[in-house]
Chains A and B, each alone.
Chain A
Amino acid sequence: MITSDLTAQRIREYLSKGKRFDNRNSEELRELVIETGVSKNAEGSARVKLGKTEVLVGIKLDVSAPYADSRDKGNLMVTAEFLTMSSPRLDLGPQPFESLELARVIDRGIRESHFIELDKLCIKEGEKVWTVMIDIYTVNDDGNLLDAAGIGAVAALMNARVPKYNEETGKTLFGEWTDNKVPLTKDLPISLTIHKIGNSLIMDPTKEEEDISETRVTVCTSNGTICSMQKGNSKELTIEEFNKVLDLVEKTEKEIVKKIEGSLK
């Protein structure tokens, strides 16, 4: 059942005083737990828990032909699946729109930040390059799957290694890895979503809060530079609110980077 009107009213009242039901302030994230290397057959993997929200991300690599307009660069592909088990609101059948959006938003963040050094993933120009596939799965949805998925994708990439490839036979030796990690730049792309409820802007909503979110903006930054952005849902934002969104993102980005790097030790 979605958040009742009664509770929604109370959430708004409380927010107007700058408070939330779980005692967080509007910019605070829930407890963030990141584990890497959770799936051994993947090139890299991560499990991210943000409060009770949980996602699993796996990285797989394979060799394929490059795209015509990037003959000497590797490829990137991001998919997302909202597993039916992750929420009572999901039914068997086609994926909800949010799943498609999540994959594309995370993709743009990683792609535009040039986090993966795709030019180092070329085996033979015009013929063979590595394709990096990031697959995101939702395990439990208690709000803010987007940010959890973004963190998971980065953490999984950071512990990913390149599989062995036999140049003579042209076969990838799945299950055998080189010592080379997937080439990444040092600036982590961090996606953060700010939600507007009434006159308040909050981060990391629980499902209860997400149900009454009127509009949201996901911003991906990499060492302070914004590389992608998406506004979702239909309520308008004032310019003042928009500026505040950018301020909030700037403030929180560094904290998340630290958390991710901390989890990889």
Chain B
Amino acid sequence: MTDRTIVIPGEVVFKGDNYLPGEGTEKRGDEVVAIRYGLVEESNKLVKVIPLSGVYQPRRGNVVIGKVENVTFNGWVIDLNTADGAFLSLMEVPRYVNKDDLKEVMDIGDTVVAKIYSINKRGIDLTLQSNGLGKLDKGIIIEINPNKVPRVIGKEGSMISLIKNETRCKITVGQNGFIWINGDKIEDELFAKKAILYIAENSMSSGLTDEMTGWFEKNRGIAQ
């Protein structure tokens, strides 16, 4: 089984006692079997299946983008499109917020970039105490399959940097699959959207970063 092969649940990925079952797999006897639909990755005998699909699984430290669903007496209920609810306490905003001013800071329908600092029985706790977080003002929000987010960001951010440079847009990628794009011109925003959707749809090809350099040259001239 080589890297980048698609496997389906129940498929034997590697056989041998020394292979270890990583994410998306389980060991049955001396066989490592896939339990997710995805791409095989093996290194140092650790076998993983990188999922091609599946809803977003929130993790501590993730930067996410969501919509204010409700304003309570001490914070904002945020919709992240996850099964668990998310809450941003007024204590987690990097400035003093008076209990009476919550709606002034953010109201229902506003879009916000936040970070997950805790996940517990009650749900997801968000914070804005970090650079680049806060209410979003202008631009567009697009949605992609959360499993494609790593591809859009690229190794050490190489892909997302390329997109930002080529489109002259500010871009924030939420791990939950929501992406904010803000440019001086709507055409630039739509160009970035086109690029991101292309990457998400062709996420399985190797050498995608190189391919994208060519893609930008080719598509730049085309009327937006």
Which A residues lie at the B interface, using CB under 8 A? 1, 4-7, 9-10, 13-14, 19, 21, 23
Contact = CB atoms under 8 A, between A and B. Distances in A.
Given A4-B67, A9-B138, 4 more contacts: A6-B136, A7-B140, A7-B141, A19-B186
Contacts of B26: none
B189 interface: yes
B139 A10 contact: yes
Given A1-B143, A13-B186, A14-B186, A6 B138 contact: yes
Contacts of B136: 6
Contact of B190 (A1, A4, A9, A21): A21
B157 to A, nearest CB: 23
A1 B67 contact: yes
Nearest to A20: B190
Chain B interface size band reads 20 to 34
B138 A4 contact: no
* Main SS at interface, chain B: mixed
Contacts of B224: 23
Interface of B: 67, 79, 81, 109-111, 136-143, 180, 186, 189-190, 193, 223-224
26 contacts: A1-B67, A1-B79, A1-B81, A4-B67, A4-B111, A5-B109, A5-B110, A5-B111, A6-B111, A6-B136, A6-B137, A6-B139, A6-B141, A6-B180, A7-B140, A7-B141, A10-B138, A10-B140, A10-B186, A10-B189, A13-B186, A14-B186, A21-B190, A21-B193, A23-B223, A23-B224
A36 B190 CA distance: 35
Contacts of B79: 1
Among A6, A9, A10, max chain B CB count under 10 A is at A6
Nearest to A9: B138
A88 to B, nearest CB: 9
B137 to A, nearest CB: 8
Contacts of B223: 23
Among A5, A9, A23, max chain B CB count under 10 A is at A5
A23 B110 CA distance: 27
Contacts of A4: 67, 111, 141
Nearest to B190: A21
